[in-house]
Amino acid sequence: MIKIINAKLNLGLNIVRKREDGYHDLETVFYPIGKYNGTPENPEPFCDILEITPSDKTEFEFSGRKVDCPLERNLVYKAWKVFKESYKDLKDYRIHLEKHMPDGAGLGGGSADASGVLLMLNELSGMPFGRERLAQLALTLGADCPFFIYNSPCYAEGVGERLELIDVDLSGWWCLLVKPEVSISTKEAFAGITPCIPLTSLKDIVRLKVEDWQAQMVNDFEESIFPRHSRLKDIKENIIKCGAVYAAMSGSGSTVFGIFKRKEIALEASERFDGCYVAVCKL
């Protein structure tokens, strides 16, 4: 079984309060990107590829972009382990991940891989779990993971685990992704953040025309990260100058994305960011 593993964007993100446990409550809108990867119109190898095949022993193989962590910390392995602990009759499989998405990009690549493993093992095992149970298992792996179980536009609250499917359709639009050689830790991302309940919920803002988003939708992480990494701010401004209708940083970065009306404009813009990871994909 082979599955194309797509990424996500945070169309906007608000940090609304700091909790007693030290974590922060947020609101965000997740949107899947890369679902058309591999089609004639969008052939660029942007998404990860996960292959799970029967084997006489359980084994893991990784190719493509190197994931610099030991196996026991890899989310693909962790997902297999979580599923096996919940489904004792799991057979042996060879699990091969071909990695294309960059790490530390705010695109949810590792979370998407983990949820992909859960979904595929569930299907190969005869569907012992429904999506709600799979989402519960995914949450033990990371706050972004449950979104990829549903893999449809969602409004999220809490640390990102409380999901509500919403009607946001960007069909026909194109996305430019630009990631410079910048690494941002979770600690750094939250440094300088002042939690605040927004006057207008993101759930309401995304119902507006895409052309109206730039004036009203924000990613609160930009306020703390841009002063430390001016390159990201410059990239966002340049993406807008290149014709994007909306641009923002995804999650806690360090990818900045732009939404374009036409593929040709997005491709032309993609040529202006030397030294960065760049991808163009259909939404």
Pick from 147, 129, 124, 107: nearest CA to 2 = 124
* 103 noted as active-site residue: no
Give yes or no for a contact between 79 and 97, defined as CB atoms under 8 angstroms apart.
no
Catalytic position from the list 113, 144, 179, 220: 144
Helix, strand, or coil here: 113?
A: helix
Task: Show the tokens assigned to 21.
Answer: 């446990």
* 282 noted as active-site residue: no
CA atoms within 13 A on the CB side of 23: 9
DSSP 50: E
Q: How far separated are the first and last CA of the chain, in Å rounded?
A: 25
Distance of CA 111 to the CA centre of its chain: 7
Catalytic residue numbers, as ranges = 8, 144
